[in-house]
Amino acid sequence: MTDHHCAYCDHFPAQVSDDTIDHFGPKGDERFYLLAYEWTNLYSGCADCQKVKNEQYDDALLRPDSDDFSFERYFTYDYDHHKIEVRGDASTADQDCAATTIRIFGLNRQGLTDARRHAWERYIGKHPAAINLLDFPYRFMFEL
């Protein structure tokens, strides 16, 4: 479903043991006890995103598999600093969802911005015919 990418930051898990399952609605929160093993509450995520998220939850948190989700609706990408930013012309509700998602998953933590920069540098050095976006993490950088 995620093409072996983290459902949240879109990085390839570093190794098989890093590719883990996240409970979107935290299993330690009594509001989500009955969803602990529901497919709709489980996402493939990297250990780093899960560590940052921990047991945090907010109703404004974006679900990566929502039918109406698109990166462009909520976010923009800063190619100078390799950060994900809240889309300035989005609705107030969409801006709140984007800001909440960036905060809870730590989507602009230093390791991610560095890794995005490295992926971008690798991407721009390839011949266009040799590019398969599934071979890259952070695909949202290339699809705009």
pLDDT band for position 134 (cuts 50, 70, 90): confident
pLDDT at 92 over 90: yes
Any alpha helices (H) in the chain, and if so which ranges? 47-53, 71-74, 92-105, 110-124
Half-sphere exposure of residue 52, counting CA atoms within 13 Å on the CB side?
19
Instruction: List the domain boundaries for the chain.
Output: 16-141
Residue 97: Cβ-neighbour burial (10 angstroms; 0-12, 13-18, 19+): buried
pTM higher than the cut 0.75: yes
Pick the most confident of 38-47, 79-88, 120-129.
79-88
Q: Are 83 and 131 in contact (CB under 8 A)?
A: no
pLDDT band for position 144 (cuts 50, 70, 90): very low
pLDDT band for position 19 (cuts 50, 70, 90): low
pLDDT, one tens digit per residue, over 40-57 is: 999 988 888 999 999 999
Q: What is the mean predicted confidence (pLDDT) over 82-86? A: 96
With tokens 């109406």, the residue in question is 68
Distance CA 34, CA 68 (A): 25
